[in-house]
Amino acid sequence: MLKRKKRYWLFVIPAVMLILGSSYYLYLRQKAAFDQELALEIVEIEKESVFECLNTQEIEYLYYAHTDPLWEPNNKFGIYLYAEVKQFFEIAQKLVNSNGGEWGYVLIPYNVKDYDYDKWSRVFDQLRAKNLIPVIQLWNVDVDKYVDQTRRAAEFLNRFIWPIKYRYVSVYNEPNSANFWYGTINPEEYARILDYSITIFKEQNEDFYILNGALNVSAPTNANHMDSFTFMKKMEEEEPGIFERLDGWASHPYPQPNFSGNPTDTGRWSIKAYDEELRFLKEDLGVEKDLPVFITETGWAHAEGTVYNPSFLPVKTVGEYFKQAYEDVWLKDDRVRAVMPFTIRYNPPFDHFSWVNIDYVPYYHYDVVKSISKVKSEPPQLIMETITIGGCDE
């Protein structure tokens, strides 16, 4: 019996060992396969991680440098030009941003029925590239359609990237003159259109900075004009508080008589006519706001042109007068933000106001003003930055 048991165990034990060995061997094989699969997964994860670290994207974004509407230093030099002529922007840049200057101004008329996106895209591209601050002057509204035309103009101008935060808009030109207000003089109508324009442009963008349409301050009341102070009083009566709603004051202080006055003159016929306008706003109309002044037209007529006109001053005298006007009057007056003389070039008979001739050759006063020392302005200019999206920290 004992011998049987011994033989039994002699068979059972090896069998059990064989089974256990086989199971262990199978376990080892499965473990090895699992380890290999896990290792491959780790490699793939690491590869994906490296790819994610390498897969970065740079995104450009724009912002304005600051929000001060009365920044200093401010380069007050400017010129009146036209959107249709590309060369004018280069000529303007060389004038207003010369001799240490940067970020001068340009006055540009804008037809409120002009929706040529490509044309105005080119204009704003040039303004940004040449560091020029635009003052857009509205013109050619149909007074019986001003509601629709004003809204469309505001929407259109708001589509563009302006070179600085503030979007200066002057609401039409010399409305106290029948020559510029469609054959009539109607201060009440203009007040309503100005009030509506302020509302609509501000609704589109609070950065629109609204100026009045500068008045002919030297003209008396006659068949073609209304005295500008009478005009302003009637505007205030029609729309109480209309001048308080403005952001700045547009002015045309021409040196009269015959665009030939002395730069040292004062009063409504002088290059300081805005003095009288601001006084009237404060003392007679009760305006409390201190409105910065934007001179959207000024300047002396010169005798030189397509046809010599001896009733005007010789261009050498015009150059001397401009130098004196800038250095002794406008640059010293903290109320004045910009001076944009009329005009870079115009056809006869207004070529006597031109700063370059028909061949784009500068007149003497262009070079004189170009040589005046200027400042590098610090407006709330458009700045582009780049951020990187993705990547891994080390």
As a whole-number percent, the residues of the chain with pLDDT over 70 amount to: 85
Specify the pLDDT at position 12. 45
pLDDT at 186 over 80: yes
pLDDT (0 to 100) of residue 60: 80
Q: Which residue bears the tokens 């201190």?
A: 290
Q: 189 near 149, Cβ under 8 Å? A: no
CA distance linking residue 353 with residue 299, whole number of Å = 7
| Cα–Cα dist 299/296, whole Å | 10
Higher pLDDT, 50 or 74: 74
Chain mean pLDDT for the chain = 90
CA 347 to centroid of chain Cα atoms: 28
Q: How far apart are CA 363 and CA 312, in angstroms?
A: 15
Question: Each residue of 107-152: pLDDT tens digit?
Answer: 999 999 999 999 999 999 999 999 999 999 999 999 999 999 999 9
Closest alpha carbon to 123 in 88, 168, 99: 88
- Distance, in Å, from the CA atom of 280 to the CA atom of 287, rounded to the nearest integer, reads 9
Domain ranges of the chain: 2-55, 62-371
Whole-number pLDDT of residue 6: 47
Tokens matching residue 205: 């963008």
Q: Is the pLDDT of residue 88 over 70?
A: yes
What whole-number percentage of the chain has pLDDT above 90? 81
Question: In the structure, what pLDDT confidence band is assigned to residue 205 with cuts at 50, 70 and 90?
Answer: very high
The whole-angstrom separation of Cα 112 and Cα 29 is 84
Q: Using CB atoms within 10 A of its CB, is residue 19 exposed (0-12), middle (13-18) or buried (19+)?
A: exposed
pLDDT tens for 287-302 read: 999 999 999 999 999 9
Architecture of domain 62-371: Alpha-Beta Barrel (3.20)
Distance from C-alpha of 198 to C-alpha of 37, rounded to nearest angstrom: 71
pTM assigned to the model: 0.86
Length of the chain: 394
In this prediction, residue 27 carries a pLDDT of 47
Token readout for 34 is 């699992």
Dihedral (Cα; 255, 173, 364, 374), 10-degree rounding:
90
